[in-house]
Structure 1
Amino acid sequence: MSNFTWQKSSYSAANDDCVEVRSIDGVIEVRESDEEDVILSTSRPAFAAFLRGAKNGEFDA
């Protein structure tokens, strides 16, 4: 991911309520599409660890 444009999952289809991500100079930014002014920033390793945890069910309630 080396694109400054926001990207969302292909699973989101036409839904406007989704999480979007982008990478700028090695920093990963995350936002909700309906709250464009609220942006969370993290490192690539931290984001990769988050994705691994999500895939492994670590955050399931």
Structure 2
Amino acid sequence: MSRSEWQKSTFSGASNECVEVRVVDGTVELRESDAGDIVVRTTPPKFAKFLQGIKAGEFDHLTT
């Protein structure tokens, strides 16, 4: 099994309240730093589409 290390945004600094991401056998895995036992898995194309939506502000209404 090919695993990469968990990565988080450099904008997070030393905070443990961020989303971490890694790739395992071609699958993208996401988790929250403070809830590391819950892992969401998706495909690279779906993850790319999700990131595009974030950058476009598609989910901004969920932060209020």
| Larger proportion of helix | 2
Alpha-carbon distance in 2 for matches of 1:12, 1:51: 17
CA drift at 1:3: 5.7
Structure 1 residues 12-54: Cα deviation after superposition (integer angstroms, max 9, x where no partner): 0011111000001110000000101000000000000000010
Alpha-carbon distance in 1 for matches of 2:5, 2:59: 27
In structure 1, the partner of 2:33 is 33
Alignment of 1:1-61 (within 5 A): 4-61=4-61
The structure 1 segments of at least 4 consecutive aligned residues displaced by more than 2 Å after TM superposition are: none
Q: What is the aligned-residue RMSD (CA, Å)? A: 1.3
Percent identity over the alignment is: 53
Q: TM-score, normalised by structure 2?
A: 0.88
5+ long unaligned stretches in structure 2: none
Q: How many residues align?
A: 60
5+ long unaligned stretches in structure 1: none
Q: TM-score, normalised by structure 1?
A: 0.92
**Contact between 2:3 and 2:25, CA under 8 Å: does it hold in 1?**
no
